[in-house]
């Protein structure tokens, strides 16, 4: 089978923290198709592409021209039609992410033309509140949702609960803080799991997003405890967090959503 052409280019790259970067990707000679905030794209690079030097060593590829492809949530607004933004974590033992980390503006890569996924707000009734819970780069689909549909205006409350190891790993923090300042319909609650490694004392929540949920911090911000009758919850990122949070929510009466059995818990597991 012929190797698919590298049909896109990196327009911008920014380093959020060691092992975390934001890539803006533009199609080359074709138009981006429509997508719903929360959906994902597929990125690819040939096995011959260089790997980030800090990543684990790998055997020389047997098929250097073969594309390595992985899914990445789109972080940009679905109204931004010129580029797609991705928030990528370096997995040291991984195949594609150490290669994506070597990309610089102007470098070519492969971008799948179809954007898919059911992790969207499409099936959330407009009067329901939306709670967006993420670990690490799992914040990406929520950035697309919040950038496309700015909170405020209706009665819906939205909140982001974002967990990371360190404060500097909380990607999009300044944008989310600014959003919170701009409307009383939106709450941003970051939580870090390694406060002892901070350079300046961290005076906010510590532990995991599960601890944050149990702490009642959201109840204090919203003035009520979210219930299945009034709130849909999105869970994205580390599968252990997704499973634990889903179990906690199910014990409170929330149901995992599927097309056949509508519920209030929407999940996206990254691995
Ligand atoms: C729908 C969907 C959306 C995704 N969106 C994003 C995104 O926006 N940003 C992003 O960085 N990743 C995202 N991922 C994960 C991504 O597809 C890759 O799995 C990831 O980049 C690792 O790829 P790799 O080839 O480097 O490692 P692989 O060779 O595929 O994986 C090696 C092993 O690393 C583990 N692993 C995979 N991802 C991670 C991780 N992030 N942290 C720790 N361990 C991991 C797994 O156990 C895996 O078996 C998404 C996955 C899915 C299914």
What is the Å distance from ligand 1's center to 215 Cα? Answer: 29
Span from the CA of 93 to the centroid of ligand 1 (angstroms): 11
| pLDDT at residue 224 in the model | 97
Which domains does the chain possess?
Answer: 8-111 (2.40.30.10), 129-269 (3.40.50.80)
Q: Could you tell me the distance, in angstroms and rounded to a whole number, from the CA of residue 206 to the centre of ligand 1?
A: 25
pLDDT at 73: 98
> Lowest-pLDDT range, 104-113, 209-218, 256-265?
256-265
The alpha carbon of 253 and the centre of ligand 1 are apart by a number of angstroms equal to 30
Residues 30-88: pLDDT tens digits?
Answer: 999 999 999 999 999 999 999 999 999 999 999 999 999 999 999 999 999 999 999 99
C-beta separation of 132 from 159 below 8 A: yes
Q: What is the mean pLDDT of the chain?
A: 96
2-6, 7-11, 95-99, 215-219: which has the minimum mean pLDDT?
A: 2-6
pLDDT band at 199 (very low <50, low <70, confident <90, very high): very high
Question: How many angstroms is it from 229 CA to the middle of ligand 1?
Answer: 33
Residues touching ligand 1 (Cβ under 6 Å) are 40, 70-73, 86-89, 91, 93-97, 117, 137, 140, 268, 270-271
In whole angstroms, give the CA distance from residue 2 to residue 103: 23
With beta carbons less than 8 A apart as the criterion, state whether 101 and 72 touch: no
Pick the residue whose CA is nearest to atom 21 on ligand 1. Answer: 97
Instruction: Give the nearest ligand 1 atom to 86 CA.
Output: 8
pLDDT score for 152:
82
- Rounded Cα gap, residues 202 and 199, in angstroms: 9
Tens digits of per-residue pLDDT, 100-143? 999 999 999 999 999 999 999 999 999 999 999 999 999 999 99
Residue 1 has pLDDT above 60, yes or no: no
CB-based contact 143:38 (threshold 8 Å): no
What is the residue with the minimal CA distance to atom 15 of ligand 1? 270
**Which DSSP symbol is given to 51?**
P
> For 153-184, how does the pLDDT look when each residue is reduced to its tens digit (9 = 90+)?
788 999 999 999 999 999 999 999 999 999 99
* pLDDT, average across residues 218-226: 97
Q: Which pLDDT score, from 0 to 100, does residue 2 have? A: 60
Q: Would you say the pTM of this structure is higher than 0.95?
A: yes
């Amino acid at each position: 089978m012929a190797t698919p052409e590298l049909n896109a280019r990196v327009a911008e790259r920014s380093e959020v923290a060691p092992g975390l970067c934001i890539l803006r990707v533009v199609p080359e000679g074709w138009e981006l198709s429509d997508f719903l905030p929360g959906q994902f794209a597929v990125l690819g690079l040939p096995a011959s592409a260089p790997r980030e030097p800090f990543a684990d060593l790998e055997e020389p590829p047997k098929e250097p021209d073969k594309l390595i492809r992985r899914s990445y949530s789109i972080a940009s607004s679905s109204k931004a039609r010129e580029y797609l933004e991705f928030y990528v974590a370096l997995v040291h033992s991984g195949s594609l992410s150490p290669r994506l980390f070597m990309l610089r503006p102007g470098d070519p890569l492969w971008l799948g033309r179809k954007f898919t996924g059911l992790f969207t707000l499409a099936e959330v009734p407009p009067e329901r509140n939306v709670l967006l819970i993420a670990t690490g780069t799992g914040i990406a689909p929520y950035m697309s949702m919040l950038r496309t549909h700015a909170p405020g205006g209706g009665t819906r409350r939205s909140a982001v609960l974002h967990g990371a190891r360190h404060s500097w790993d909380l990607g999009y923090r300044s944008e989310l803080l600014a959003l919170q300042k701009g409307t009383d319909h939106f709450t941003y609650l970051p939580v870090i799991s390694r406060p002892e490694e901070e350079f300046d004392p961290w005076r906010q929540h510590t532990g995991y997003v599960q601890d944050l949920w149990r702490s009642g911090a959201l109840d204090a911000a919203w003035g009520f405890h979210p219930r299945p009758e009034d709130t849909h919850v999105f869970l994205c990122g580390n599968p252990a967090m997704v499973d634990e949070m889903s179990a906690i929510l199910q014990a409170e009466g929330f149901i995992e959503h599927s097309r056949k059995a509508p519920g209030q818990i929407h999940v996206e597991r990254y691995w």
